[in-house]
Amino acid sequence: MINRYSSQIVFPEIGKEGQRKIEKAKVTVIGCGALGCIISNNLVRAGIGKIKIVDRDLVEMTNLQRQILYDEEDVKNKIPKSIAAKRKLEKINSEVEIEAIVSDVNFKNIEELIKNCDIVLDGTDNFETRFLINDACLKYGIPWIYGAVIGAAGSTMTIIPEKTPCLRCIIEEIPLPGTLPTCDTLGVLNTIPNVIASLQTTETLKIIVGEKNLNEDLITIDLWTNSFEKMKIERKKDCPSCVKRNYLALEGEEISYATTLCGRNAVQIVPRKKVHISFEKLEEKLKLLGKVKYNEFVLSFEIQDYEFIVFPNARTIIKGTTDISIAKTLYAKYLGI
């Protein structure tokens, strides 16, 4: 019988039985930017049973270059990304159950967001959230698929609890603010997310149909230099997350917290970890994007209608908004956590 999934049913590794499994599977996509859009689009067209899409942002004009589920109407009407994604995806496949959640992801809600699903997909743009996903998925024994893109490059790895290395086996600590390039400081081409998100989606389908040969290596691809690398990652013998089961991210210890500064049209973000920022390095990175000034006490950075006041310990006051989720997004964008 010909149906909408015929093309993947005749693919022998999936077949009729695989398709039935796909139609029963439940996945959560955390972050619906470039990767999240492509992953959700692929999975919904493949007939996934249920997809939960979580994102804290509204659709902006700069998203349209690569975030394929959104359009100018969404920007004009200030639609949250997860809602805009759901509306678009429902038109593509009405058989799929789609849940849109407009929320920041933090140590208080991550477990609730992931615990009843079969696989979690990383569509985020920061390591703070990735460590939350890592620890929550390990705790509940749920496979998750790391994905990240920047410039023309990206990487992905499949993490199966108890079997493969986890994110903390690669990176022990959450990288310090300002030390990592972000999409807003280095840009991103619209081609690389297609490649990384397609690898993530394929791994998802493979896990669902029971394929054993998964991607346990860290794959890194640079489309500009035509570089395709696979790095073997060893499981760390004393990994706090996957070996010692000490889920630090879920305790909130490493999580930054934000408070609205009353009457000042500003939000303050304080990292819980002790960090020390080099103003010199941060200035180098930010001066391409906006006005930066610093002295020995603070660095000020102006972009659009916002002003960042950054202290050496990464405490930051963002002027121009009282919305904590906007402030956290800006913090992640420009300071890199």
Q: Does 239 bind Zn ion (CB under 5 A)?
A: yes
Among 190-198, 218-226, 240-248, 255-263, which window interacts with Zn ion (CB under 5 A)? 240-248
Residues 160-219 that bind Zn ion (CB under 5 A): 166, 168-169
Nearest distance from C-beta of residue 285 to Zn ion, angstroms? 30
Nearest distance from C-beta of residue 235 to Zn ion, angstroms? 6
Among 32-40, 82-90, 159-167, 184-192, which window interacts with Zn ion (CB under 5 A)? 159-167
How far from each other are the two terminal CA atoms of the chain, in whole angstroms? Answer: 50
Nearest distance from C-beta of residue 228 to Zn ion, angstroms? 25
Closer CB to Zn ion, residue 19 or residue 155?
A: 155
Nearest distance from C-beta of residue 133 to Zn ion, angstroms? 13
In the chain, the DSSP E strands lie at 26-30, 50-55, 97-102, 119-122, 144-150, 153-159, 218-222, 227-231, 257-261, 266-270, 291-294, 299-303, 306-310, 316-319
d(CA 79, CA 20): 34
Q: Which of 251, 253, 243, 266 is nearest to 327 (CA)?
A: 266
Q: How many residues bind Zn ion (CB under 5 A)?
A: 6
Contact 242, 161 (CB under 8 A): yes
Q: Does 242 bind Zn ion (CB under 5 A)?
A: yes
Among 14-22, 171-179, 241-249, 310-318, which window interacts with Zn ion (CB under 5 A)? 241-249
Closer CB to Zn ion, residue 47 or residue 147?
A: 147
d(CA 312, CA 289): 20
Closer CB to Zn ion, residue 8 or residue 155?
A: 155
Q: Helical H runs in 58-102?
A: 72-76, 81-92
Q: Does 53 bind Zn ion (CB under 5 A)?
A: no
Q: CB atoms < 10 A from the CB of 160, how many?
A: 18
| Interface contacts to Zn ion, rule CB under 5 A | 166, 168-169, 239, 241-242
